[in-house]
Structure 1
Amino acid sequence: MKKIILFITLVSTWTAISQNIKLETITTDTINVVADDFIDYDQFEFYYYIKDNVLHKTNDTESLEYKNASLGKIAKVDIRNPLKIVLFYENFNTVILLDNQLNETHKVNFSENTSPIAVSAIGIAAQNRLWIYNSLNQQIGLFDYIKNDYKTISTPFPESIKYYQTDFNTFYWIDNKNNWYSCDAFGKIKTKGKTPDFDAIEIINDSQFIYSKNNTLFFEDLEKKQKHEIDISEKTFKKFCYKDQILSIFTSKGIINYKIITP
């Protein structure tokens, strides 16, 4: 019995110690850019940002831009597929799809759809489809922009969305009570757990995420029950992005990229 108690005590102590260890970062480069919002990098090392409601795509040798003043403010940019970039203009309930040269390839006005759709969340999905959260019925759907076909796949949400994120096969969201869920392309919903309160958050995978609170960054793994503060030099920042062990911090002066190894 004493051995069991000692083991539990050691495990609890080790867990507490490990959670107090900061994750170290190494600065890789800094990009001086004046922007209103930083979107992210794509896999071809282009970075995207918004300045004066214009989308910019740039690297060391090339710079492109797209603007469409007639549709108002850009509410969302999805660059998961750099060959099919999604721009969402929420005030006009409209999506624009761009190719890798930022040429317009598709325009969808959801207000003109045969089934009423009021989009409040959107992202690129597989097979020429878009993830849609329809605020009219509070359900997730998939919209085929080639066939102009919309299909509702989920049950109505009991709570409003605080944050959402998509990949080709999954729609993730966190509700206003910090409950974290996922929905696959067949409409199957899973409860992932509960997140801490956050100012901003980015989901890494089914159990891990990075979040900020009061200008401090944390990495958390719900499955392993680990939480670590991330050591960065910036005391204030506008946004952060994480991809392939690179943490990008967006400040008023530009973008600082860090190499980080998550547990």
Structure 2
Amino acid sequence: MSKTMRRILLCVFIVCWSSSFWGQNQKISGPVISKFAHNADQFIGYDSFGYLYQIKNNIFSKTKGNEFFEYKNISLGNITRADIQNPLKIVLFYEDFNSAVLLDNQLNKMTEINFSQNPVPIAAGAVGMSTQNQLWVYNTLNQQIGLFDYLKNEYKTVSIPLTESIKYYQTDFNSFYWIDKKNNLFLCNIFGKISSLGNVPEFEKIEIIDPQKYIFKKDNSLYFRSINKTNTSTDLEIEILEKSFDKFCYKDQILSIFTTKEIVNYKIVIP
């Protein structure tokens, strides 16, 4: 073998070894900025004003310092989901009673919606805040995504029927994200256009940051995945101290970890 060929092979080996080394060892880390004990059943997250939201004994509450507000509605059963995207209009979804409640910033009831009373038959399987006085609603009767105007009490379907059942969903004002039972990730915008965002790995919990980024929990570890324009994905482990945790949320570069005894907040910068 010539010297030139040996040099080429050596360079290839070094490049491959370096890529493998960095791919296996690159991690995201950040300092713990706060931690405190709690006795809640479920941690919802923080809003942009620094209020913490949680559920205890089916009572929804928000706290900050000495401020404390709560809301409970025994007649609607258990809270299925809480949407705090808009702190001035919080959405509580009660799936068992096919209903949703909108709360103001002091958790006073503004509107109660019974989807069963709508002229258009609706069995809500997913509900979240959207834009212009509207809620995202996934109607399990026709397996379509729609928008419900809670001021006019009007519902309109925007998507075509989904071909697979929803395993997980998440909404923002302009988008309805969902993962089907085959772990395919999709996005529907307010005009009903559906975009395929690829396949996600097996997960226990997941939080979508944007169409190209999400954080997921697997085997009590957290990973950040980014997808580039060529649909190539990169996974980085997020280093945390907790060996077991129930939930996490990421907002404004703060990663909050919810365990059975405490909430731990890390300063994490996602690349």
TM-score grouping bracket, smaller chain normalisation: over 0.9
Residue 200, structure 1, aligned to residue 205, structure 2? yes
Q: Which moved more, 1:11-20 or 1:236-245?
A: 11-20
Number of the residue aligned with 1:225 = 233
CA–CA distance in 1 between the matches of 2:98 and 2:70?
Answer: 22
Q: 1:29 to 1:111 in 2, by over 3 A?
A: same
Deviations 1:135-175 (A, max 9, x none): 11111000000001100000111111111100000001111
For the 8 Å contact 1:120–1:134, the answer to whether it is kept is yes
For the 8 Å contact 1:48–1:57, the answer to whether it is kept is yes
For the 8 Å contact 1:19–1:226, the answer to whether it is kept is no
Deviations 1:35-92 (A, max 9, x none): 1100000000000000000001000120000000111000000000000000011100
Residue 66, structure 1, aligned to residue 71, structure 2? yes
Q: 1:94 to 1:22 in 2, by over 3 A?
A: same
Deviations 1:191-237 (A, max 9, x none): 11111000010001111110001111111112262111111110000
Q: 1:11 to 1:205 in 2, by over 3 A?
A: farther
Number of the residue aligned with 1:262 = 270
Query: Quick one: higher RCO (CA 8 Å, sep 6+), 1 or 2?
Result: 1
SS of the aligned residue for 1:248 comes to: strand
Q: 1:56 to 1:6 in 2, by over 3 A?
A: same
Q: 1:19 to 1:140 in 2, by over 3 A?
A: farther
Q: Could you tell me the TM-score, scaled by structure 1's length?
A: 0.95
Describe how 1:46-195 pairs up with structure 2 within 5 A: 46-195=51-200
SS of the aligned residue for 1:25 comes to: coil
Q: Which has the larger radius of gyration?
A: 2
SS of the aligned residue for 2:31 comes to: strand
SS of the aligned residue for 2:28 comes to: coil
CA–CA distance in 2 between the matches of 1:217 and 1:44?
Answer: 26
Q: Which moved more, 1:133-142 or 1:16-25?
A: 16-25
**How big is the shift at 1:9?**
7.7
CA–CA distance in 1 between the matches of 2:60 and 2:166?
Answer: 26
SS of the aligned residue for 1:181 comes to: strand
SS of the aligned residue for 1:120 comes to: strand
Say what the alpha-carbon RMSD is for the aligned residues.
1.9
SS of the aligned residue for 1:63 comes to: strand
CA–CA distance in 2 between the matches of 1:144 and 1:31?
Answer: 39
**How big is the shift at 1:13?**
4.2
The number of equivalent residue pairs is: 262
Amino acid at match of 2:98: N
For the 8 Å contact 1:193–1:222, the answer to whether it is kept is no
**How big is the shift at 1:23?**
1.0
Amino acid at match of 1:52: N
CA–CA distance in 2 between the matches of 1:78 and 1:233?
Answer: 28
SS of the aligned residue for 1:95 comes to: strand
Number of the residue aligned with 1:238 = 246
Q: 1:7 to 1:183 in 2, by over 3 A?
A: farther
- Structure 1: gaps (5+ residues): none
For the 8 Å contact 1:87–1:96, the answer to whether it is kept is yes
Amino acid at match of 1:256: V
Deviations 1:226-256 (A, max 9, x none): 1111111100001011111111000111210
Number of the residue aligned with 1:250 = 258
**How big is the shift at 1:31?**
2.2
CA–CA distance in 1 between the matches of 2:84 and 2:236?
Answer: 28
Q: 1:12 to 1:121 in 2, by over 3 A?
A: farther
Runs in 1 of length 4+ with deviation above 4 angstroms? 5-9
